[in-house]
Amino acid sequence: MPVAASAVYFLNLRGDVLINRLYRDDVGSCLLSTGAWNLFLFMGSGNMVDAFRTHIMQTKELGTCPVRQIGGCSFFYMRISNVYIVIVVSSNANVACAFKFVVEAVALFKSYFGGAFDEDAIRNNFVLIYELLDEIMDFGYPQNLSPEILKLYITQEGVRSPFSSKPTDKPVPNATLQVTGAVGWRREGLVYKKNEVFLDIVESVNLLMSSKGNVLRCDVTGKVLMKCFLSGMPDLKLGLNDKIGLEKESQLKSRPAKSGKTIELDDVTFHQCVNLTRFNSEKTVSFVPPDGEFELMKYRITEGVNLPFRVLPTIKELGRTRMEVNVKVKSVFGAKMFALGVVIKIPVPKQTAKTSFQVSSGRAKYNAAIDCIVWKIRKFPGQTEPTMSAEVELISTMTEKKSWTRPPIQMEFQVPMFTASGLRVRFLKVWEKSGYNTVEWVRYITKAGSYEIRC
């Protein structure tokens, strides 16, 4: 069954219900049998989601599994800032659908609340949330969740009936047709004085490197973020320097592919606006974009990744109470570029008593809360290799020395105008029947995903 939810609860960290909505009756009985007797008669009383609270929140099992069965019900939950969003079902529901619904609903709420989604935001907007919950899911089936469209007829102030007699009321232009239309993510009749498109290629590099410098796992997950300010119903086509797309293109135009670096994408996924059938047959990314900001596509690359940084750690344990830590970080991108906000977290044992460092660049600090030496370099030029050497003194413990399990070194950074994959935008074409000119802006940035070096 494609049903995603029988009920949705928003709880704070103490387990109090902030807001909830029952879509189906079937969870009533199983919540009854697990001790939450009043669920379907009363909403939101303090001890109502007892089943969830006593079984999940109060035990250490929180965090062991996001899908749990309690009595006849199954609970799926996600934590977003200081709120648990819990979905309750009693049938064989589509879990993937349920979690994705939660993710999208949160994005929707954020777009309504202006960015924040937390306990206060929920309390301050409960009327709006009730209204949205009623609209985005019916009888447990997710409906249209596009903020763009919903904002047409669900607003903070409440929309008055367009057909009512009062002439002052603002009419809603075909809201219902928009919700259900084939282009359910863009409204008609948009006009911009200046037609602009901003493209951001954001890549995260995930790396797991052994202490000997072997790459154990390495991939790049990239996103193409788009901000559109375009009039009318434009048709867009995006060209990248990916291998398959280029091959197909040269095939169609029956001329040999241009030389130059081509990228092999392991996988691409697209926003729902992209015509997938066309991508499959012609390998072109064509779409009618939503207005404003959205994530056009995501991709993943494992071959030919240019790692922006190499980290060479040497950690020596000198007897029971002393350690020597030397870390060298090498930037391997172009000398003219630079990385921003570089943070290197070097783990040290819990019983660290005293640390002293020497760094050739940036600042280092010992942070006892996370048991790490945190080395920060605000601006890190390419082709350099700063070093840090630290001496760590440990408290000698009476208990037999248990070998220290070393967590990996973790790194954060941002490198503007650099893509670890080498991906480039070749063109972005915009067609609209009125034939206006557009200005396109493209930016690249590479960030650290989980960049871990074992030591």
Residues between 412 and 441 with contacts to another protein, criterion CB under 8 A:
none
Instruction: Please tell me the distance from the alpha carbon of residue 189 to that of residue 133, in angstroms, as a whole number.
Output: 28
Task: Rank residues 384 and 454 by Cβ distance to another protein and give the closer one.
Answer: 454
Work out whether 237 is an interface residue with another protein (CB under 8 A): no
Of the candidates 428, 431, 371, 440, the residue with the CA atom closest to the CA atom of residue 238: 428
Cα 164 from chain centre: 42
Q: How far is the CB of 245 from another protein (least distance, A)?
A: 13
Q: How far is the CB of 272 from another protein (least distance, A)?
A: 5
Give yes or no for a contact between 340 and 413, defined as CB atoms under 8 angstroms apart: yes
Work out whether 254 is an interface residue with another protein (CB under 8 A): no
Give yes or no for a contact between 62 and 73, defined as CB atoms under 8 angstroms apart: no
Binds another protein by CB under 8 A, chosen from 59, 161, 358, 383: 161
Task: Rank residues 91 and 414 by Cβ distance to another protein and give the closer one.
Answer: 91
Instruction: Please tell me the distance from the alpha carbon of residue 178 to that of residue 185, in angstroms, as a whole number.
Output: 8
**Which residues in the 387-406 window bind another protein by CB under 8 A?**
402-403, 405
Task: Rank residues 76 and 338 by Cβ distance to another protein and give the closer one.
Answer: 76
Three-state SS at 234: coil
Residues 6 or more apart whose CB falls under 8 angstroms from that of 330 comprise: 309, 310, 311, 312, 384, 385
Task: Rank residues 89 and 415 by Cβ distance to another protein and give the closer one.
Answer: 89
Binds another protein by CB under 8 A, chosen from 5, 7, 11, 30: 30
Work out whether 147 is an interface residue with another protein (CB under 8 A): no
Instruction: Please tell me the distance from the alpha carbon of residue 139 to that of residue 142, in angstroms, as a whole number.
Output: 8
Work out whether 408 is an interface residue with another protein (CB under 8 A): yes
Cite the beta strand spans of 7-72 per DSSP E.
7-12, 17-22, 67-70
Give yes or no for a contact between 6 and 91, defined as CB atoms under 8 angstroms apart: yes
Work out whether 90 is an interface residue with another protein (CB under 8 A): yes
Contact letters for another protein, residues 277-316 (x by CB under 8 A): x-xx--------------x-xx-x----------------
Instruction: Please tell me the distance from the alpha carbon of residue 384 to that of residue 342, in angstroms, as a whole number.
Output: 13
Work out whether 63 is an interface residue with another protein (CB under 8 A): yes
Task: Rank residues 32 and 425 by Cβ distance to another protein and give the closer one.
Answer: 32
Instruction: Please tell me the distance from the alpha carbon of residue 195 to that of residue 231, in angstroms, as a whole number.
Output: 7
Of the candidates 42, 47, 125, 118, the residue with the CA atom closest to the CA atom of residue 84: 118
Q: How far is the CB of 427 from another protein (least distance, A)?
A: 21
Binds another protein by CB under 8 A, chosen from 88, 125, 242, 388: 125
Please provide the DSSP assignment of 283-344 as one string: --EEE-PPSEEEEEEEEEE-SS---SEEEEEEEEEETTTEEEEEEEEEE-S-TT-EEEEEEE
Residues 6 or more apart whose CB falls under 8 angstroms from that of 124 comprise: 113
Work out whether 76 is an interface residue with another protein (CB under 8 A): yes
Structure tokens that stand for 413 in this block: 């950074």
Binds another protein by CB under 8 A, chosen from 12, 57, 78, 341: 78
**Which residues in the 93-112 window bind another protein by CB under 8 A?**
93-97, 99-101, 103, 112
Q: How far is the CB of 136 from another protein (least distance, A)?
A: 10
Cα 251 from chain centre: 36
Task: Rank residues 164 and 360 by Cβ distance to another protein and give the closer one.
Answer: 164
Work out whether 267 is an interface residue with another protein (CB under 8 A): yes
Q: With contacts defined by CB under 8 A, name the span among 45-53, 239-247, 248-256, 414-422 that binds another protein.
A: 45-53
Work out whether 410 is an interface residue with another protein (CB under 8 A): yes
Give yes or no for a contact between 1 and 94, defined as CB atoms under 8 angstroms apart: yes
Structure tokens that stand for 332 in this block: 């391997």
Binds another protein by CB under 8 A, chosen from 13, 14, 81, 124: 124
Binds another protein by CB under 8 A, chosen from 7, 8, 11, 48: 48
Work out whether 41 is an interface residue with another protein (CB under 8 A): yes
Give yes or no for a contact between 101 and 5, defined as CB atoms under 8 angstroms apart: yes
**Which residues in the 163-202 window bind another protein by CB under 8 A?**
163-164, 166, 172, 175-177, 179-182, 184
Cα 7 from chain centre: 25
**Which residues in the 311-370 window bind another protein by CB under 8 A?**
none
Q: With contacts defined by CB under 8 A, name the span among 1-9, 232-240, 384-392, 428-436 that binds another protein.
A: 1-9
Task: Rank residues 47 and 384 by Cβ distance to another protein and give the closer one.
Answer: 47
